[in-house]
Every structure is written in C-alpha cells, then in structure tokens.
Amino acid sequence: MGLFDFMKKKGIVIASPAEGECVPLSQVNDPTFSGEVLGKGVAIIPEKGMFYAPADGEIGTIFPTGHAVALTTEEGVEVLIHIGLDTVKLEGKHFRILAQTGQKVKKGDALIEADLEAIRKDGYDCITPVIICNTTDYAGVTGKTGIHVKPGDACMEIEK
C-alpha cells in the first residue's frame, strides 16, 4: 500500500437489485424519472423477476402494492427501487412482497418477486428505476450504464 493510498476516498457502491441491462434514467419513458425529479440514478431493464437489496440497510417503506421499495443504506443513502412504470395501478397483482417495512437487510436479501411476463402482458413497461432520493447530500452519483448486471453487481457509485 502506497503512502497516499489511504487518502483516496472510496465512494459508496450501490448494487443492482436485479439482473438485466443497466441504462441511463434518460431511457425511462416517464418524466418524473427521466427528468431526475426524485433524484439521480440508473434504470434496470429486468430479465428475471427477483429484486434484491442493493446494499446493507433498513427498509423505510415497502409499498403494499409491491411495486416499489425504499431503503436507507448504513451510510445514509436513500434508495428507491420502482419496479415498472405505472405498476401501482396493478394494485399488487403480479407482485409478491418478501420483506417488510422496518426490516434490516443485507445486500442481496430478496425484497420483491414480480411476474414480469404477466406485468408486460397487462401492458406495463417493466423498466426499473433505481433512484438516489437524497442525491443533493452527495458530491455526485455516477451510474455504470450500458452494461449487463446481475444482482449484487455495482451499478452506481456515490461520491461523499
């Protein structure tokens, strides 16, 4: 280890909650997400219907409809995972909640299972924005887009 290595600040890594293509938020067909109204982040085009904790932390809210979950990492990063667009209108159909509000989770713990095929059949886009809701608390949020990710692979780095 070099003399100055300890001075290099490592950012906070947020993992992908699902397997699929990691794309910029600008590709999300919803102005709230693509316009970064809720914060910066990335979107996952999911290939499988299992969604996992992207970091160690605590679930702040798991929506009763199962379409979204908000958690706060141990470092204080507020992450929103929103499965699909307008999927709240499904009122929980095609979603199975595997965690609960207030639960402490470890990176990789299962949170929600979604039947992506059924959701698509019902006419919904399954693209999944992963948003840092407290973006302004950090120097920067950098997405690792244009790559295929598996759950647990880094998809964002946050500069303190």
Catalytic-role residue among 67, 82, 94, 148: 82
Distance CA 43, CA 52 (A): 14
As given in the structure block, the two tokens for residue 12 are: 């906070």
Q: Given pLDDT bands bounded at 50, 70 and 90, which one contains residue 20? A: very high
Give the pLDDT confidence of 91-118 residue by residue, as tens digits: 999 999 999 999 999 999 999 999 999 9
Task: Put residue 10 in one of left, alpha, beta given phi > 0 → left and psi -120 to 50 → alpha.
Answer: beta
Known active-site residue 148: no
Distance CA 28, CA 46 (A): 13
Q: 2-6, 8-12, 110-114 — which one is most confidently predicted on average?
A: 110-114
Note the pLDDT of residue 100: 96
pLDDT at 42 over 80: yes
Note the pLDDT of residue 10: 74
In degrees and rounded to multiples of 5, residue 47 shows phi and psi of -105, -25
Distance CA 32, CA 35 (A): 6
In degrees and rounded to multiples of 5, residue 105 shows phi and psi of -125, 155
